[in-house]
Chain A
Amino acid sequence: MPPLLAEIAQLVVNGVMAGTILAVPAIGLTAIYAVLRFPNFALASHATIGAFAGYIANVKLGLPILPSVGLAFLAAGAVGVATDEVVLKQFRPAGFITTAIASIALTIALENIVRFAFGNELRGYALPIERDWRFGSIRVGPQQVQNLAVAAAAMVMLFSFLAFTRTGKAMRAVADNPMLASIKGINADMISRLVNFVGMGLAGLGGMLIGLDTTIDPLTGFRSILSVFAAAVVGGLGSIPGAVVGALTVGVGEELCLLFLSPDYRSAVGFVAILLVLTLRPRGILGQRAY
């Protein structure tokens, strides 16, 4: 293969891996948006909380990666339900501006609780050092493949939950038409708690998966929030399949830009993607409407 083509192939592979991981928190964001109708910026700190919960499980308690990832989901989900119940829920009647500002304040508050407990140092998970697998000229790390598998498994579980269970269908009904859902006797409070649990849990899971690739610190979540929002907006805010498509697009796009940009600008690429989509097709690839 000519070197440029080989490089592009490698970047696309990396992009698909990064995009699959990005899809996890992006689904969380878009699911919360679909049911509660506001962009929840507190997602950033919940990703950090998940990453740190996984760190405690993996490094302090010595658990293997898979159960730690599960704990990251549960911890971030539980914190998500609690913070929504105590803080954000009160703001919903006041409209989305107030709620969005409150969610930013909440994310900074939670991030600082993590900083108070753990400090600013970079921390890494206890991972075995493994040689990359090689397929022709393309290199893939075994840990990346495991992350990919975890992300894919989480998505398959979520899709089956939404498609086949009664609660999953109720959740979709509320997202689709809250008034009709309440006439049908669906308990909106229960659904909003559930969507916070699942959505913030996915954010925490995503935070840990991102951390497994690099290191974690209190800003882990905030640093990736731009890419997560880009994924959700590109795919169409409120559409779960859209979040997956958007995340893959943003993931591959961020990697391909490395051909002519330094990696430091990676998150800026997400912002450009947001601007492009909002200018050309505001509802995103699979979204319904944006006005």
Chain B
Amino acid sequence: MENYVIAMAVSAGIYALMALGVNVIWGMAGMVNLGLVGFFAVGAYVSALLTLKLGLPIAAGMGAGALATSLVGALVALITVRLRGDYLAIVTLGFAETIRIVASNTIWLTNGTDGISGIAGPYRGTLSPEAFNLLYLAIVGTIVTVAYLLAERLRASPFGRVLRAIRDDEQVAAVAGKHVALFKVKAFAIGAGALGLAGALYAHYTSYIAPDIFVPLLTLYIKLALLAGGLGNNRGAIIGAFAIVFLLESTRFAIPLVPGVSAVQGAALRELLIAALLIVLLRYRPQGLVPEQLRQIPARAVPPGRYQPTA
């Protein structure tokens, strides 16, 4: 039971890291990423392959996974940055599908749909499973904490302010002399890096990755986590990740109790529920359950006769 709770806490931590990354892209910069599972997969595969085939230490593999994903993210953003945002939506979705196709069919490298097993975990061989789980929870906890602090720093920094300005009105940001395209590519690369690191953490925790783990549904989970916690809000991203893991796990136990439903139907019901919940939240709480707190700037007295803002 403790092991189960710890394992769930680890997955919540990994989701939280993803949610923090997506928060930079979607919440702060207002860019869409419909294929975040593809970036998660790149991090997982790069780190798994580097540690397994080249014998790199785990930490180096994770670092390389995050870096590679970040570069891929920058490239994806670069191709679409001057176009309407819908093209980024199409390209990110296509990217995730393409990664899945490549991972499923490049058998010499990724072992195809059978997946890669035996991915090293820190001290997995020398520790008992319980101790390993606890150690990994500590690692994930530390990384999420650091990522949270960095994200908070980013949000409060001039860089973060520019991102929000771009999100709210790109033209105004450009008129203010900000290099909009550069900021967007950077934001996307930062967010993608967090997604890649989360993927690497996942791979070294479960020791097994395969293409059918990286399905579009995972993208919805993270969007839902972010919306549940509050878009643009880093603490909310973490709370939302824990909430979504709790929700997923409770439906895992609840749905088999529904009479007359087969295993496939149960899985379908669960996905339907997640998708419906996302639609409802998006519709009624588009800013999330806990909206972003923006620092209110006190209105300065405006001399009479000068332009007076109406709202």
Chain A interface residues toward B at CB < 8 A: 33, 38-39, 41, 87, 90-91, 94, 96-98, 100-102, 104-106, 108-109, 112-113, 115-116, 119-120, 222, 225-226, 229-230, 233, 237, 262, 264-265, 267-268, 270-271, 274-275, 278-279, 282, 290-291
Contact = CB atoms under 8 A, between A and B. Distances in A.
Interface residues of B, number: 46
B264 interface: yes
Interface stretch (B128-136, B198-206, B215-223): B215-223
Most A Cβ at <10 Å: residue of B87, B220, B268, B274: B268
Contact of B94 (A112, A274, A291): A274
Contact of B98 (A104, A226, A237): A226
Interface in B260-293: 262, 264-265, 267-269, 271-272, 274-276, 278-279, 282-283, 286
Contact of A104 (B34, B82, B265): B34
B237 interface: no
Given A109-B275, A112-B275, A290-B83, A102 B220 contact: no
Interface in B21-50: 26, 30-32, 34
Most A Cβ at <10 Å: residue of B30, B90, B265: B90
B271 A108 contact: yes
Contacts of A262: 105
B34 A41 contact: yes
A265 B100 CA distance: 10
Contacts of A87: 279
A38 B86 contact: yes
B59 to A, nearest CB: 32
Contact of A96 (B85, B217, B220): B85
A278 B30 CA distance: 21
B85 A271 contact: no
B76 to A, nearest CB: 9
- Determine the main DSSP class of B at the interface with A: helix
Nearest to A113: B272
A114 to B, nearest CB: 8
Nearest to A283: B83
- Determine the main DSSP class of A at the interface with B: helix
B91 A278 contact: yes
Given A109-B272, A112-B268, A112-B269, A101 B34 contact: yes
B95 to A, nearest CB: 7
A258 B91 CA distance: 23
Contacts of A91: 282-283
B282 A102 contact: yes
Given A113-B272, A115-B264, A291-B83, A265 B223 contact: no
B47 to A, nearest CB: 23
Given A96-B85, A97-B32, A290-B87, A264 B94 contact: no
B127 interface: no
B300 interface: no
In the A-B complex, the 7 residue pairs with the smallest Cβ-Cβ separation, listed nearest first, are A109-B275, A115-B268, A264-B105, A116-B268, A112-B268, A112-B272, A271-B98
Contact of B104 (A90, A105, A264): A264
B101 interface: yes
A278 B87 contact: yes
B220 A274 contact: no
B6 interface: no
Nearest to B101: A268
Given A96-B85, A106-B279, A278-B79, A112 B271 contact: yes
Contacts of B274: 108
